[in-house]
Structures are given as C-alpha cells and as structure tokens.
C-alpha cells in the first residue's frame, strides 16, 4: 500500500515537469515572432534571400557542423530568427518550417516571395479587380511593392496584385 502514494507523487512531479517544459517552449515560440534588434543591428525576425544557387543549411553555427539541407534556388526567401553574437551566422526558417544555420555571406536582401497556396493575382489590389493569372503553390515571384494587405508581384509571364497572406517572404 505504501507504493501507491509514491507513484502518485511521481506522477504529479512528471506532470509538473511537462507543464514547465510546455510553458518554456511556448514562450520561446512566441518570442521567436517578437521583433527585436539582432547583433547585426537589424530587426529579428526579418526576411532575407539566398545569395547563391547552392547554399548549405547547417545543424549549428559552424562550418564544422553537419549540413542538414542543401538549398538550390538563388533568391529563395528565408526568415532570420536569430543571429550569433559574433554576427557571422543566421538561424533561419524556410517556408516548410525547417530551421537551420546559414553563414551571413550566403544571404542577401529579399526581393522575392513564394506563393504558399493557389493564388489569383489581380490587376489592382482588390478582389473586385480583373484577374490576371492563377499562381500555384511553390511559384517564386519578384516582390515589386506592398501596400497594406496586398503586394504587387511579377513572375516570368505575369504581373499583378496578390494578397500578402498567401505569400511567404513578406510581413
């Protein structure tokens, strides 16, 4: 009979630890989206783009650490979510939610957005405007300008206004 109170105590301790871990990770996720100034003096988070056609994403901020993903699309937007104190490495999140470290020399100003879901682009920044094209998820479009909830984008064949909520690479 004595074992029962000990098991109950252990169960309560485990539940308390799970609650603490959930609270810590939850506040860390909320903090990731909170804008602050990074070691570069620039805001974090912010969008940047891959500077080269081939960019390695690493498990940590060092050339000695494993390459966990190889990006093969120059201009692909990624979100900077952290910077190292020596201002050399950026922790980034890509459109799939994957988080890796990239050397700052492999990043440039962001000028593109990825279409996240099937999106119609319009002649003007309103759904009542003339539709110009339907873009499929994964299409990369040049960002020309954003106004409110809309951005003017350009693909190889089309130019028009898309709702910002359907684009990865803009705030």
Inform me whether the pLDDT recorded for 154 exceeds 80.
yes
Q: Once rounded to an integer, what is the mean pLDDT over residues 27-35?
A: 52
Rg (CA), the chain: 21
Enumerate domains of the chain plus CATH numbers: 36-110 (2.30.30.40), 113-168 (2.30.30.40)
Query: Checking DSSP bridges between strand 36-37 and strand 43-44, what pairing results, if any?
Result: antiparallel
Higher pLDDT, 124 or 34: 124
Q: Is the pLDDT of residue 138 over 50?
A: yes
Give 65-93 pLDDT, tens digit per residue: 999 999 999 999 999 999 999 999 999 99
Q: Label residue 34 by pLDDT band (50, 70, 90).
A: confident
């Amino acid at each position: 009979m004595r074992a029962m109170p000990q098991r109950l105590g252990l169960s309560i301790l485990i539940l308390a630890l799970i609650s603490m871990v959930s609270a810590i990770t939850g506040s860390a996720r909320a903090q990731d989206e909170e804008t602050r100034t990074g070691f570069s003096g620039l805001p974090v988070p912010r969008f940047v783009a891959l500077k080269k056609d081939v960019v390695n994403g690493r498990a940590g901020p060092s050339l000695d650490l494993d390459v966990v993903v190889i990006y093969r699309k120059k201009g692909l937007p990624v979100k900077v979510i952290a910077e190292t104190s020596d201002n050399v490495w950026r922790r980034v999140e890509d459109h799939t939610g994957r988080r890796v470290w990239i050397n700052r020399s492999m990043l440039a100003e962001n000028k593109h957005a990825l279409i996240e879901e099937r999106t119609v682009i319009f002649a003007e920044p309103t759904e009542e405007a003339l539709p110009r094209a339907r873009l499929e998820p994964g299409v990369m479009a040049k960002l020309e300008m954003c106004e409110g909830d809309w951005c003017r984008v350009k693909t190889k064949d089309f130019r028009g206004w898309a709702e910002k909520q359907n684009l990865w690479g803009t705030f």
